[in-house]
């Protein structure tokens, strides 16, 4: 009976050791995933800020060309909206 109890206790300790090892692996993986996601968000934010800065610089250098592009895009969107609205009738 004592041998059986000692074997069961050793088996339980092995299971606890395995559970702790798996918990450690999962925790490390989750932390690494969070760090990777935060790094990707920061890179995305930096890229967006760079794009906004580049756009502002381009507008300052060529204000008439920028106004023309905005006018053209507005006309295109208006035509597309009018076309889609007329198709629904």
Q: What pLDDT, in 10s, does the model give residues 27-51?
A: 999 999 999 999 999 999 999 999 9
Query: What pLDDT is recorded for position 7?
Result: 80
* Mean of the per-residue pLDDT values of the chain: 92
Query: What pLDDT is recorded for position 36?
Result: 96
The single-letter DSSP state of residue 1 is -
Entry pTM: 0.54
Q: What pLDDT, in 10s, does the model give residues 60-81?
A: 999 999 999 999 999 999 999 9
- Whether pLDDT at 1 is above 60: no
Query: In angstroms, what CA-CA distances link 31 with 19, 27, 35, 44, 45?
Result: 18, 6, 6, 20, 21
The single-letter DSSP state of residue 62 is -
Domain boundaries, the chain: 2-88
């Amino acid at each position: 009976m004592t041998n059986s109890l000692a074997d069961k206790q050793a088996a339980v300790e092995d299971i606890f050791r395995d559970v702790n090892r798996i918990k450690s692996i999962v925790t490390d993986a989750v932390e690494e995933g969070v760090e990777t996601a935060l790094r990707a968000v920061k890179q995305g934010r930096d890229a967006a800020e760079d794009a906004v800065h580049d756009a502002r610089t381009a507008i300052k250098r060529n204000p008439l060309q920028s106004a023309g592009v905005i006018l053209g895009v507005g006309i295109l969107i208006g035509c597309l909206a009018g076309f889609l609205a007329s198709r629904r009738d």
